[in-house]
């Protein structure tokens, strides 16, 4: 079957399908008897609660946008797929408008363009306008017009626009665009994460880091193991403190790979316990610690060898220059960063060395052309990472 059967825990009173995307990206919204609103993908059901006390909900007639009336407020999610990309951006990608003027027991009838049609309890229908900028942004992103997306965000200067751009760009693996959006949102931690992903030389490593960013560590590990990047898979489990799984991978591939990393796992485990002044209690590690000698110079040399092997076998080069300074300067230009004649010479030097907004947009335009060819036939909320 195309999708797995899904059974909700309680009775469902309303079900609706979105009108955008291919079969593997279609979504469904449902309202249960508790008046809770959920959204889920069809081919891999994983419902996520969006709102409570929902009277009605409706999908946009052309785009993947969802609107509902909850607690006498009209709430619009301009990119519902953000729940599978980054839950931290969910609140920033929604718009909430007071709907008390429509009275109680009102119902959303349709959502077309930038207005929702609301039917009151007496049967009268009125139009509820919403912001058209996020809808235009979603339309540009669907056509891979990333320079137009960034110009629209700089023109409107709305947080919801930058959040939508960041979520869409991460879903479409447009890391440079996501870096610009996160810089505008002052999300330093996410900007640093994107920078780290860009610096990874192999495409499989980047895909795995994106899956880890989406809180899918098992899928990320599967991508790395399938690409024979065992060292990166081991370090991924160490980073998220899945010590037993890291030791299992190192032990299973001991002797099968030219470089063994059992001592690497045990060494990082000991360093982790020492930082918290704890003693080892896991019998698996206690058994191996008596057989393995920890030499950090050897461990660092093996890590350097693994990085060199990955860089040599990859089909692209690692990012030599950091994009953090470039995107911050490029984003801040629209905010009017003006220095007086006696300003800091370091700041002016950085501004001169960084590319201008037009240069960055020209670079993004060149990147969007091949991206448009690669994304033909794929919706921008792809979920086929393990098949690539």
Concatenated DSSP letters for 312-344?
HHSSSPPP-S-SHHHHHHHHHHTTT----TTS-
Query: What per-residue confidence (pLDDT) applies to 150?
Result: 96
Q: Is 74 helix (H, G, I), strand (E, B) or coil?
A: strand
Query: What per-residue confidence (pLDDT) applies to 384?
Result: 45
Q: What is the pTM of this model?
A: 0.79
pLDDT tens profile 133-142: 999 999 999 9
Query: What per-residue confidence (pLDDT) applies to 326?
Result: 52
CA 275 to chain centre: 31
CA–CA distance from 332 to each of 182, 298, 308, 337 (Å)? Answer: 12, 44, 36, 6
* 248, 270 contact by CB (below 8 A): no
Query: What per-residue confidence (pLDDT) applies to 319?
Result: 45
Residues 6+ apart with CB under 8 A from 102: 69, 118, 120, 126, 128
Q: Is 54 helix (H, G, I), strand (E, B) or coil?
A: strand
Residues of the chain with pLDDT under 70: 1-4, 315-388
Query: What per-residue confidence (pLDDT) applies to 290?
Result: 85
CA–CA distance from 91 to each of 50, 88, 99, 342 (Å)? Answer: 10, 7, 18, 41
Q: Which strand ranges, in their side-by-side order, compose the sheet holding 54-59?
A: 54-59, 66-70, 73-77, 94-98
Distance CA 376, CA 388 (A): 15
Q: What letter does residue 153 receive in the DSSP assignment?
A: H
Residues 6+ apart with CB under 8 A from 380: 141, 142, 168, 171, 172
């Amino acid at each position: 079957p195309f999708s797995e059967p899904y059974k909700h825990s309680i009775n469902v009173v309303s079900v609706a399908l979105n009108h955008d995307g291919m079969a593997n990206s279609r979504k469904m919204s449902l309202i249960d008897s508790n008046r809770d609103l959920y959204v889920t993908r069809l081919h891999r059901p994983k419902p996520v609660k969006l709102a409570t006390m929902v009277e009605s909900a409706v999908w946009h007639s052309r785009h993947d946008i969802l609107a509902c009336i909850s607690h006498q407020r009209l709430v619009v999610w301009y990119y519902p797929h953000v729940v599978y990309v980054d839950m931290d951006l969910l609140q920033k990608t929604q718009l909430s408008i007071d709907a008390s003027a429509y009275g109680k027991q009102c119902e959303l009838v349709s959502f077309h363009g930038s207005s929702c049609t609301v039917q009151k309890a007496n049967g009268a229908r009125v139009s509820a306008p919403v912001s058209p900028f996020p809808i235009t942004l979603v339309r540009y992103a669907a056509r891979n017009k990333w320079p137009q997306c960034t110009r629209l965000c700089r023109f409107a200067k709305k947080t919801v626009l930058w959040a939508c751009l960041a979520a869409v760009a991460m879903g479409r693996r447009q890391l440079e665009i996501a870096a610009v959006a996160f810089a505008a949102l002052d999300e330093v931690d996410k900007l640093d994460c994107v920078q780290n992903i860009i610096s990874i030389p192999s495409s499989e490593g980047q895909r795995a880091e994106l899956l880890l960013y989406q809180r899918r560590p098992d899928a990320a590990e599967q991508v790395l193991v399938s690409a024979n990047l065992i060292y990166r898979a081991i370090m991924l489990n160490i980073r998220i403190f899945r010590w037993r799984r890291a030791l299992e991978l190192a032990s299973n591939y001991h002797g099968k790979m030219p470089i063994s990393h059992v001592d690497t796992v045990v060494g990082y485990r000991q360093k982790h316990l020492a930082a918290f002044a704890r003693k080892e209690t896991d019998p698996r590690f206690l058994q191996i610690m008596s057989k393995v000698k920890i030499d950090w110079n050897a461990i660092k040399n093996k890590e350097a060898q693994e990085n060199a092997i990955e860089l040599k076998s990859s089909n692209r080069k690692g990012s030599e220059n950091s994009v953090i300074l470039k995107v911050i300067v490029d984003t801040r230009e629209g905010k009017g960063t003006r220095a007086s004649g006696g300003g800091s010479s370091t700041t002016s030097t950085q501004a001169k060395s960084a590319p201008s907004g037009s240069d960055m947009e020209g670079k993004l335009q060149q990147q969007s052309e091949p991206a448009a060819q690669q994304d033909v036939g794929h919706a921008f909320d792809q979920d086929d990472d393990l098949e690539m």
